[in-house]
Structure 1
Amino acid sequence: MSAGAESADQERMRWRAFAVCVGVACLTILDLSKVNVGLPALESALGAGPTQLQLIVAGYTLVFGLTLVPGGRLGDLTSRRRLFVIGLSLFTAASLLCAIAPTIEVLIAARLLQGAAAGLQMPQVTGMIQQLFQGPERGRAFGLFGAIIGLSTAFGPAIGGLLIAVGGEQDGWRLLFWMNVPLGAIALIAALRLLPREQRSEGGPRGLDPLGLVLLGGAILALLAPFLLTTGGESDDPRRWFLLLLGAVLLLAFVLWERRYARGGRSPVLDLELVRRPSFRNGVIVGTAFFAAMPSLFLVATLYLQQGLALSALAAGSVSIGFALASALGSWLSGPRVQRLGRALVVGGLVVLIAGFALALLLVHLVPSAAVPWAMAGALTLAGIGGGCVVGPNQTLTLSEVPVAQAGVAGSVVQLGQRVGTAVGVALATSTFYGVLSREVGAETDATAYLDAFSLALVVVIGLASLALVASLLDLRKRHEAGTR
């Protein structure tokens, strides 16, 4: 075989492995958004209460976040392929258990297992992309990855609504989980055939640092729990915010322990040199703020459309289709250009995204109620173009200076920032939404109360997206001062 033919075969194998990775990432992210539209059906079919419904959504996110960094670290030290296969197998099995769950308690337990499996496999995705591609090709790969993530996040409500419409109010929610079973099995076969067995490694100390893992896990749990337990209702216990103090203490203890552990010549859970890299640190901040805004928007929009305007789950979910398609287009176009435009591309994307959100806020007050879904869909399509220029390019810039040997743990920190952002953003937006409802229902018509609730929640979402823009502008300024993009 000629060198050219061999190179072409290697190129095809790399992109096939990439397709497996992003396909599984798509399944994982879909479960963060598509289940939201199934909550009313779950409440009816299994008699789930508010706390149980919260556990189905928040429990997945919490366990997902807890297993990300250990999963990334294990993948870097052992085999990303093996961890990917284990995580995917568990995710598929847990999805099956969710689909056949006879009671709400079984569903919650299966959902937690599903979140743990997602946290185990997702760091391997970004680690493998780092391993498979370098230079401009990596920008193209992360551009495609960003398109898939954008599509998954935005299409989740539409897919969930369609499945519930097909299965009916009583059992449609089961299809949300049945969907993962055949797709997960196909992906598992493809992973065993296509993912690379060899893994580049670097010399140096190795080990898992059990105490570091415990301290980090405790800090994540304490920092996330207050937000995940926030519903906006009167039953929220204000004492939950004291957990933030515990989280801060544990996080400080983790940093001090990691420094000591590294000085002893051992390998810490997280090399703090990563955090000291401006490209990595600033990219994580931008990603955290961005993902605080996006899932929050889709959640409060779905609540407003279903509860305030009495749309079906399918109709409410379909409003995000324009965003999904535009986001995919933005990601596809921005991927090859990130090496040339750098952080300026992310800044421009965030400006367009915020403009789309602001347009949505304006239109819901100007158009008749019957036209609100169409107006919102149009504004979100504009926002989607900007959003597509954020996820992939920001991922590329964030990981641009990370050694391949640390790609898994670095990717897990990026993902952890996104999960933390999601938890904080959803808590802020939903508590704002329900807070307005609790004050206004009865004093005004329900339709007006829901419009006010959505409007104020959307202002919160715009504020979160603006934080991402500020962080991007600061990073752009530092890059200009350093003579880089």
Structure 2
Amino acid sequence: MHQTTSTGSSRRMMTAMFLPLFASLLSISIVNVALPAIEESLEASSADLQWVLSGYALAFGMALVPAGRAGDIWGRRRLFLIGVVVFGLASLGAALAMSPLVLNTARVFMGFAAGILTPQVIGMIQQLFSGPARGRAYGMMGTVIGVAVAAGPALGGLIIDTTAADVGWRMTFLINVPVTVAALIGILLWLPKPQDDDAAAEPATTDAGPDAASTGSTGTEPHGLQRLDPLGVVLLSLAVLLLMLPFIQFRSLLGGLFAVAGLLMLGIWALWERRLGRRHESAPMVNLKLFALPSYTLNSMVLGLYFAGMPAIWAVVAVYVQQGQGRGALIAGLVTLPSAVMVMLLSSRVGKAVESKGPRILVAGTITAVAAMLLLSGTAALMATPYGSIWLMAAALGVVGISQALIIPSAQTLSMHDVPEEMAGAAGGVAQTVQRVFTAIGIAVVTGIYFSVTAEQGHQSGIVIATLVIAGLMLSSVAAAIFAAKRAALSAAG
């Protein structure tokens, strides 16, 4: 069910959807510059600080697919409201925390809430928009993602540098509260009412008969909690936890064993989903027929491979500017602003063009990502000469913003093009989970290389080598984008 809406109505709906999405993504990047202040204020250990980051990431990753499926079944607007409320309350709890334990508990709830609301945004875009309007919505979503990630360090640095030590880091969490309040008002006023939202849920069917036979399903449709596939939720959540832990917490032999166990658990989950799918098409949490859609699988892989490398650059640049160059948190944040500006300027335009030029835009974006990393590596190397400047590095990061504006809206739109509306939330959850896992892997690999090289040769060599490693990782996204574009061309010709 696609809603027919005016331009003004569309903008209001996107505002209601994207405000909490912006806050949830901002909470990933803004906290990086707040860690030293948290350490001093709460007398937190290095393990406590690690969990400020990893607790959020783990809860976020584990919630995505079950929440997406729950939204498909019980109404995306309801789940979105729940996620926004929990996120706002948890942010308030983090801002008021008087101990590392309370802070990290609040961060886990923030991550869980972010995991609930994020797939609902994708599902609602599929439900409420179609054609070029959908591309524009995903373009705006790309703008929100890019600005939140790139502007977070600048905003955090500004807050930390202009407030008292014990106040600044609390403000980085507290700013989420008015944002979520404004979002709640927008949701209640502008998004479809629950009865409309329910119309997007899966249609009810009766016992197996001719219709079931035509879809390859047998048996009866599950009811109640069974529709969420509780065992599938547990198996996939454990798989995601075991796959992410080695890269954000246990970088050791034990972590390797966790990763192997995670892959095995993922295999068991896939077998279980396949078995449920044979009983009834709507029984599994994720219908594995989703992965038979080339547009979904290939374009989601392009986006996943992009996230395997590019997010790590923000962590590396933040460390390099502050520790390698001795600059403050505000300067470290300002260096990332050109990227945010380019995303703001380009993402909506890219979204409008995806319908006609999507595959070509995606290929161009991945190639631009490689070029951006090579350019950043060159400007970083110049820092050892009189011609170097961190503002040249900032300009190179602007090219990163161009790549992000080209890739995210186009890959997101193309990946969801053929996904049935009733599977949109689960499909969005799967894609987002892949991105979270790949991001954790990429950050672990790139920062590990950066710190290893820095220990031996200094920050200067560390930043150069790290950017070259990311450029190499980005080549895989170029190959995937070219393959996806050729497959799309063959499908169009056929």
Question: Shorter-chain TM-score: what band?
Answer: over 0.9
> 1:237: Cα distance to partner?
3.2
Q: Does 1:201 align with 2:201?
A: yes
Deviations 1:65-108 (A, max 9, x none): 00001100110000111111111000000000000100111101
Q: What whole-Å deviation, never above 9, does each CA across 1:269-318 have from its counterpart, x for those lacking one?
A: 00101111111111211111112223210110000001110110010011
Q: Which of 107, 115, 119 is the matching residue for 2:111?
A: 115
C-alpha separation in 1, matches of 2:183 and 2:59:
23
Letter matched to residue 84 of structure 1: F
Is residue 404 of structure 1 aligned with residue 404 of structure 2?
A: no
CA shift in 2, pair 1:484/1:239, >3 Å: farther
Q: Which residue is equivalent to 1:105?
A: 101
Q: How far did residue 381 of structure 1 move?
A: 1.2
1:156 match: secondary structure: helix
1:311-326 paired onto structure 2 within 5 Å: 311-326=327-342
What pairs up with 1:252-271 in 2 under 5 angstroms?
252-265=267-280, 267-271=283-287
Whether the aligned pair in 1 keeps the contact of 2:72 and 2:202 (CA below 8 Å) is: no
Aligned to 1:361: 377
Structure 1 residue runs of 5 or longer lacking an equivalent are: 1-5, 231-235, 441-448
How many Å apart are 1:463 and its aligned residue?
2.2
Tell me the distance in 2 between the aligned counterparts of 1:165 and 1:129.
Answer: 38
2:303 aligned with 1:287, yes or no? yes
Contact 1:142–1:335 (8 Å) recurs in 2: yes
TM-score, length of structure 2 as denominator length = 0.91
Q: Partner of 1:390: helix, strand, or coil?
A: helix
The one-letter amino acid of 2:368's match is V
**Contact 2:370–2:475 (8 Å) recurs in 1:** yes
CA distance in 1, matches of 2:448, 2:110: 26
For residue 395 of structure 1, the aligned residue among 412, 419, 427 is 412
Please, what is the CA RMSD of the aligned residues? 1.8
Change (3 A) 1:64 1:7: closer
Q: Is 2:353 the partner of 1:337?
A: yes
Contact 1:61 1:419 in 2 (8 A): yes
Matched, 1:227 2:242: no
Match of residue 237, structure 1, among 249, 252, 269:
252
* Residue type at the aligned position of 1:285: M
Cα separation, 2, equivalents of 1:109 and 1:95 = 11
The 1:73/1:327 distance shift into structure 2, 3 A limit, reads same
Cα offset, 1:11, TM superposition: 4.6
Amino acid at match of 1:247: G
Shift of 1:15: 2.7
**Distance of 1:343 and 1:118 partners within structure 2:** 30
User: What's the offset of the Cα at 1:370?
Assistant: 8.7
Deviations 1:233-274 (A, max 9, x none): xxx533211111111111111111111111112510001011
Q: How many Å separate the matches in 1 of 2:493 and 2:429?
A: 26
Once residues 377 and 357 of structure 1 are traced to their aligned partners in structure 2, the CA distance between those partners, rounded to angstroms, is 12
Spell out structure 1 runs of 4+ moving beyond 3 A.
Answer: 367-371
Distance 2:279 2:312 in 1: 43
Cα distance in structure 1, aligned partners of 2:274 and 2:350: 38
> Runs of 5+ in structure 2 lacking a partner?
206-220
Structure 2 residue aligned with 1:210 = 230
* 1:454 aligned to which of 463, 466, 469: 463
After superposition, the Cα gap between the structure-2 partners of 1:136 and 1:290, relative to the gap in structure 1 and judged at 3 Å, is same
1:191 aligns with 187
1:33 and 1:295 in contact (8 A); partners too: no
Q: Deviations over 1:194-225 (max 9, x none)?
A: 11121223424351111111111111111111
Q: Distance in 2 between matches of 1:394 and 1:299?
A: 24
**Partner residue in 2 for 1:92:** 88
Q: Give secondary structure in 1 for the equivalent of 2:22.
A: helix
CA offset at residue 14 of structure 1? 3.3
Aligned mates of 1:26, 1:484 — CA distance in 2: 39
For 1:247 and 1:369, how far apart are their aligned partners in 2?
49
Measured after TM superposition, the shift of residue 371 of structure 1 is: 4.3
What displacement does 1:483 show? 2.8
CA distance in 1, matches of 2:286, 2:410: 24
Q: Distance in 1 between matches of 2:319 and 2:278?
A: 51
2:33 aligned residue (37, 40, 53)? 37
Q: Is 1:475 matched up with 2:492?
A: no
Partner of 1:68: 64
1:250 is matched with which residue: 241, 247, 265?
Answer: 265
Map of 2:18 onto structure 1: 22
* 1:446 matched residue in structure 2: none
CA distance in 2: counterparts of 1:426 and 1:47, whole angstroms: 26
How far did residue 480 of structure 1 move? 2.2
1:379 matched to which residue of 2? 396
Deviation at 1:155, TM superposition (A): 0.7
Paired residue for 1:233? none
Percent same amino acid among aligned pairs? 37
- Matched residues in 1 for 2:67 and 2:291: separation? 19
